[in-house]
Amino acid sequence: MGKIFSIARYLFLESVRDRLFIMLMLISVIVVAGNFALDFFDQGIQDRIIFDFGSSLASLLGAFLCLYLTTSQIRAQLDSKKAYFILTSECSRTHFIIGKWLGAIIFTAFNVLIIFGEIFLIIYFNSGLFSRLTLIYFYIVTLKLSLLGAIAAFFCVTSSLVVAPALSVFIYFIGHWGSYISYAIEKSGGSPLVLNISGLITGYLLPNFKYYTAEHVITENFEGAAGYLVMLTLYTLAADVIILGAAALVFKKKDL
Amino acid sequence: MSDEKFAIECINLSKNYSGNLNEREKSAVKNLNLVVKTGEVHGFLGHNGAGKTTSIKMIVKLIMPTSGDIKIFGRNIKNADYLDKTAYIAESVNFYQFLTPAEIIDFSISLNPVSFAAIGRSDLKSKTEAALNETGLYKWKDTAVEKFSKGMRQRLALALCLLREPDLLILDEPGSGLDPDGISLLLKIIEKFKKMSKTVFFSSHHISEIERVCDRVSIIKYGELLETIDLSDYNKKSASVEARYLELMKSEKSEL
């Protein structure tokens, strides 16, 4: 475990010093802070706008950071041979994959936390509300990004620098809008067999990103939120283990 | 130092690369039988594309052999997750650009617990300073590696080897990118390892480097081992490795 944490720690340290990430964060923080100027709506609507806009931005920025970081830290480093430093030490390829994934998720979560922290503070100073939903949604977004990171890590060891993020984005979209695909097939008169196969793939075989929305928590009116979050955590952990396990298995046999 | 008689044993080692579309399968290394004795400095000579880097990468587990076995200090590495007490420096060394040499050394310490286990914490600090001094990097120890030239990166890799003192040091064209001072430093380090009875295996195009420090040298051409020369015999006969190398290159039928 020490080696995994060490890889994650130095990935974090390196990323924190990357000017690209610093600029990106700065812009996002400024954009979210701009919401503070929205004083022409009712209090409730204003809070809702701040939350919706801020959390969407955090989720989008998180997805970009997660994909960029995983790709640049795994695929690009394998191509540039930087990864040899780790891979020729007393460190297995599984350590490498998990360490890089963990580091990317911690760094992404750190950035997303800054934005959610900002949303929380804006809502608090604006209307004196302690926005529990902001904290819960930060946790949900982190879980979602850990799953996206695992998918990106898998594609990084099985494909190229361009294909890996493209496939990850594709799976991310299918995971979000899989049910619309089934709906489109049904509407266009597709056969029940095709419909069943599409339902099986989008609903069960591929990770379902539709679970990671704030609506689930709001509908549960917080009372059932704890149970939902536990189930979501277990689902994410299981998916992460399966995807990273598959990535490690493939990577073990790969020529570098 | 290990008690095993052989540091590296390659037994019928082959590597084939599958060709694309109309290309036929290419054989990079063919039935290589190579033995590096424990405690010797062993050179690896061959023209560009002879299979030196492929062989070395198979030995350090960066690529998987198509067939054959590799033993490091008597242990078959086929099922090993990683090699301990073995250090490798690639032809072009790349480090994490936003980390400093001091941090890279710390990172290496955490990744190689077996190698560094014998060194106490206080000794480690003085040894780190000594290694950075010896490689001329001490005054750069807190400068990010992104500002380093290729030669300085190579020096950092050598500093890591000095600090780690592996039982087996494998270098792939270590002289490339180094200035004359750097090459002299490299040869000094190899001689230092030799005095400590450590094993060094390195590939090079520079016959003068090989003649200066090696005990034996293996010559490879188009993936096949042609000859292993004992340099002590050559020195007695005042024969030249260069002449023998050129003779071997000419005599064997050339392929494209």
pTM of the model as a whole: 0.89
Low-confidence spans in chain A with pLDDT less than 50: none
Residue B13 has a pLDDT of: 92
Residue A4 has a pLDDT of: 94
Determine the structural domain holding residue A112 and report its residue range.
Answer: 2-252
Structural domains counted in chain B: 1
Residue A134 and residue A197: Cα distance in Å, rounded?
37
pLDDT band (50, 70, 90) for residue B3 = low
Q: Collect all residues with Cβ–Cβ distance below 8 Å to B170 and sequence separation of at least 6.
A: B56, B59, B60, B86, B87, B88, B89, B200, B201, B202
Structural domains counted in chain A: 1
Number of inter-chain CB pairs under 8 A, A vs B: 74
> How close A86 comes to chain B (CA, Å)?
7
Residue B189 and residue B182: Cα distance in Å, rounded?
10
Residue environment code for A236-249, b if the CB has 16+ CB neighbours within 10 A, otherwise e: beebbeebbeebbe
Residue A119 and residue B214: Cα distance in Å, rounded?
65
Determine, for residues B98 and A85 on separate chains, whether the beta-carbon distance falls below 8 Å: no
Task: Give per-residue pLDDT as tens, B175-187.
Answer: 777 788 888 888 8
Determine, for residues A91 and B111 on separate chains, whether the beta-carbon distance falls below 8 Å: yes
- Give the chain A residue nearest B91 (alpha carbons): A81
* CATH code at position B50: 3.40.50.300
Determine, for residues A90 and B94 on separate chains, whether the beta-carbon distance falls below 8 Å: no
Q: Which of A86, A93, A79 is nearest to A253 (CA)?
A: A93
Other CB atoms within 10 A of residue A55 CB: 23
Look up residue B19 and give its DSSP letter.
Answer: P
Contact residues on chain B for A6, CB-CB shorter than 8 A = 107, 110-111
Q: Which of B168, B208, B209 is nearest to B186 (CA)?
A: B209
Average pLDDT over residues B113-117: 79
Three-class DSSP category at A245: helix
Residue environment code for A188-202, b if the CB has 16+ CB neighbours within 10 A, otherwise e: eeeeeeeeeebbeeb
Residue B239 predicted with pLDDT over 80: no
Name the percent of chain B lying above pLDDT 70. 92
**Burial grade of B153 (CB within 10 A; 0-12, 13-18, 19 or more):** buried
pLDDT band (50, 70, 90) for residue B256 = very low
Q: Which of B59, B42, B40 is nearest to B2 (CA)?
A: B40
Residue B50 predicted with pLDDT over 90: no
Residue B19 has a pLDDT of: 67
The dihedral of CA A13, A16, A18, A21: what is its sign?
A: positive
Residue B1 has a pLDDT of: 53
Look up residue B224 and give its DSSP letter.
Answer: E
Determine the structural domain holding residue B184 and report its residue range.
Answer: 6-255
- Taking only residues 49 to 108 of chain A, the set having a beta carbon closer than 8 angstroms to any beta carbon of chain B reads 80-82, 84-94
Put the strands of the sheet holding B6-17 in their side by side order: B26-37, B6-17, B67-72, B75-76
Three-class DSSP category at B108: helix
Task: Give per-residue pLDDT as tens, A199-232.
Answer: 777 777 788 888 888 776 665 556 667 888 899 9
pLDDT band (50, 70, 90) for residue B28 = confident
One DSSP character per residue, B171-192 reads EESTTTT--HHHHHHHHHHHHH
Nearest to A90 among B95, B99, B114 (CB): B114
Residue B255 has a pLDDT of: 47
Half-sphere exposure for B38 (CA within 13 Å, toward CB): 13
Residue B1 lies in a domain: no
Residue B79 predicted with pLDDT over 60: yes
Residue B221 and residue B252: Cα distance in Å, rounded?
9
Determine, for residues B113 and A91 on separate chains, whether the beta-carbon distance falls below 8 Å: no
Residue B73 lies in a domain: yes
Residue A40 has a pLDDT of: 65
- Taking only residues 137 to 196 of chain B, the set having a beta carbon closer than 8 angstroms to any beta carbon of chain A reads 144
Q: Which of B212, B224, B176, B199 is nearest to B27 (CA)?
A: B224
Residue B21 predicted with pLDDT over 70: no
> How close B100 comes to chain A (CA, Å)?
10
